[in-house]
Amino acid sequence: MTAIQKWPATAAFRAFVVIVGLSLLVMGVTACGTVAGTAIGAGSGAAIGAGAGDAKKGALIGAGVGAAGGAIYDVTR
């Protein structure tokens, strides 16, 4: 039987986790169009790619195009 080692959560580690969490939250809020564009582009690309015979390649291309479109939308908004 192996013992599970519990790591003590120090104040510095907690502060680091809070900063990283807030940074991810801010990035998600500010890059909402990019994230949504990527998701929609990947789904659309996979659907088109499935019809053409290669869903993986379609999803990759769609995600790239969607991310670019979402980033352009976020910059101009």
Tokens 């900063």 found at: 19
Q: Which amino acid, one-letter code, is at 58?
A: G
| Terminal C-alpha separation, the chain | 57
Most confident among 4-8, 35-39, 55-59 (mean pLDDT) = 55-59
Tokens 């039987």 found at: 1
Angle at which helix 32-52 crosses helix 55-76, to 10 degrees, equals: 150
The domain spans of the chain are 31-77
CA 2 to mean position of chain CA atoms: 36
Looking at the chain, the whole-number percentage of residues with pLDDT higher than 90 is: 0
pLDDT band at 15; cut points 50, 70, 90: confident
pLDDT band at 42; cut points 50, 70, 90: confident
pTM of this prediction?
0.54
- Give me the chain's average pLDDT, please: 75
Closest CA to 55 of 65, 63, 45: 45
Residue 41: what pLDDT? Answer: 79
